[in-house]
Structure 1
Amino acid sequence: MIRVRKPAEPPEVLRTKGARVQRSQCAAYSRAPRSYENGKRSFEFDPNIYGHETVKRALREAQHGKCAFCESKFAHISYGDVEHFRPKAGWRQEEGEPLGRPGYYWLAYEWANLFLSCTLCNQQFKRNLFPLRTPERRARNHKVDVTAEDPLLLDPAVDDPEEFISFREEVPYAVKGNARGKATIRTLGLQREELAEQRRKHLRLVKALQQIIELRIPEAEEARNQLLSMQQDSEEYASMTRAFLR
């Protein structure tokens, strides 16, 4: 997981259509807040807006074609999911808890709340989980400032994940046992075996390049350049590679 630097200007579809729908939903909630809180009413969200191709394209470019969470490149097998960092329709503090409603409906089309994720990170692991260090500070509607929250999940557009999560070989761990690193690894399934297998393959190449460099053969310079390239943000599993070579 690495820092994601999005363009400051949101795609036009979010600034126009998204903003209109957002205003409408906020007004609807204000008219009947209890109905949305008890689930009698629910919001309908338009994936053609937050999942518009211009949004996906901007996220792909900002994330170098990688999942914002596990750093896997998936374009060759999947279009990817537009993931809402703060869940739009409902939230859970912990796995197995009842769904809290109405969710962060007012952030459904908010550029800062959107990332591109692989299907596994989004649909099998994170889903509607959004744990806070202090659950009582959760923003329950659009009238409350979300910046007062203290989320346990790392926001890759705000936080520098490498300050919280590092690697021992292919295994991620929370730096100095910090709570946010632990929660992010657990919630996003960053220790899942299938992902670890891909990281191990990547590390084998890193180690092989190191051996070539140590032999000081003619190919050593090319191997050194390859290792430098593999540490760039654009490369798959860059944070693990940097941690291993550090």
Structure 2
Amino acid sequence: MIAAYSRASRSYRNGKKSFDFDPDIYGHLTVKQSLKQAQHDKCAFCESKFAHISYGDVEHFRPKAGWRQQKGDALSRPGYYWLAYEWANLFLSCTLCNQRFKKNLFPLQTPKRRARNHQEDVAAEDPLLINPAVDDPETFISFRKEVPYAVSGNARGETTIRTLGLRRVELAEQRRKHLGHVQALRNLVEIGEEPYAAEARSLLQRMQQNTEEYASMTRAFLR
């Protein structure tokens, strides 16, 4: 009995058998609502507010079923199965960031340090993707107008931008529209006519808060 159990366990750990995950647990409405609140109704990756057009996806930062080091690689199993229901591994993402771009990608700077099962420690990994719950994204990514770039050419910033499609045309168009409003408000401040300048300053201060859409880009633009 013990030997049979051990063989079955090894089959899951080495990827010969696949785990069955219950999306009704990690994708439950209460989980989505909590993530929306924690993320200020924004996609964890592109900072877009999308609730008016999409339910969004509960995204596993470390992929649960299988992973790829880079685009084009075969899917390697098992994934991070032991983190499938772990709160710290869950984010709310827009559909494009999750389904069109990130998918099962989880590149490491040192692939041999990858945790392959629940007995290994993910803290030993060196992910190339920025974890918005742990890292300060602005340390790695800034903006030239609406275009994101890796600060000092750092690998984590560039890999995150590329993997998540953060330079995609549709997203750039939305950011450009947003910056048009920011620029108009800054012009009012510079003109200095009150009370309009005071109102514009107040709006600009609010637009730089983390609760607001594209706040990191707005802060970079106004520096």
The answer to whether the superposition gives a TM-score over 0.5 is yes
**Matching of residue 154 in structure 1 with residue 127 in structure 2:** no
**Matching of residue 126 in structure 1 with residue 63 in structure 2:** no
SS of 1:204 mapped into structure 2: helix
Q: Structure 1, residues 71-94: CA drift from partner, whole Å, max 9, x if none?
A: 000000011100000000000000
Query: Counterparts of 1:86-125 in structure 2 under 5 Å?
Result: 86-125=62-101
Q: Partner of 2:27 in structure 1?
A: 51
Question: How many residues align structurally?
Answer: 219
- In structure 2, the CA distance between the partners of 1:174 and 1:87, relative to structure 1 (3 Å rule), is same
Shift of 1:37: 5.5
Q: Structure 1, residues 157-206: CA drift from partner, whole Å, max 9, x if none?
A: 11011100000000000000000001000000000010000000000000
Q: Structure 1, residues 96-127: CA drift from partner, whole Å, max 9, x if none?
A: 10111010000000000000000000000000
Shift of 1:215: 1.1
- Output the amino acid matched with 2:192: R
Are 1:29 and 1:36, in contact at CA under 8 Å, matched by a contact in 2?
no
Q: Percent identity?
A: 77
**Matching of residue 232 in structure 1 with residue 209 in structure 2:** yes
**Please, which of 175, 181, 206 is the counterpart of residue 199 of structure 1?**
175
Cα distance in 1 between the residues matched to 2:17 and 2:56: 29
After superposing on structure 2, the runs of 4+ consecutive aligned residues of structure 1 that deviate more than 2 Å are: 28-40
Cα distance in 2 between the residues matched to 1:139 and 1:40: 17
**Matching of residue 214 in structure 1 with residue 190 in structure 2:** yes
Q: Partner of 2:116 in structure 1?
A: 140
SS of 1:44 mapped into structure 2: coil
Residues 122-131 or 212-221, more deviating: 212-221
SS of 1:32 mapped into structure 2: helix
Q: TM-score scaled to structure 2, two decimals?
A: 0.95
Shift of 1:39: 4.6
Gaps of 5+ in 2: none
Q: Partner of 2:8 in structure 1?
A: 32
Q: Partner of 1:12 in structure 2?
A: none
Q: Partner of 1:241 in structure 2?
A: 218
Q: Partner of 2:150 in structure 1?
A: 174
Cα distance in 2 between the residues matched to 1:243 and 1:35: 49
- Output the amino acid matched with 1:212: L
Larger RCO (CA within 8 A; separation ≥ 6)? 1
Are 2:35 and 2:92, in contact at CA under 8 Å, matched by a contact in 1?
yes
SS of 1:211 mapped into structure 2: helix
Say what the alpha-carbon RMSD is for the aligned residues: 1.4
Gaps of 5+ in 1: 1-27
- In structure 2, the CA distance between the partners of 1:180 and 1:123, relative to structure 1 (3 Å rule), is same
**Matching of residue 70 in structure 1 with residue 52 in structure 2:** no
Cα distance in 1 between the residues matched to 2:222 and 2:129: 26
- In structure 2, the CA distance between the partners of 1:143 and 1:38, relative to structure 1 (3 Å rule), is closer
- In structure 2, the CA distance between the partners of 1:183 and 1:189, relative to structure 1 (3 Å rule), is same
Cα distance in 1 between the residues matched to 2:74 and 2:163: 17
Are 1:68 and 1:115, in contact at CA under 8 Å, matched by a contact in 2?
yes
Q: Partner of 2:57 in structure 1?
A: 81
Cα distance in 2 between the residues matched to 1:106 and 1:31: 18
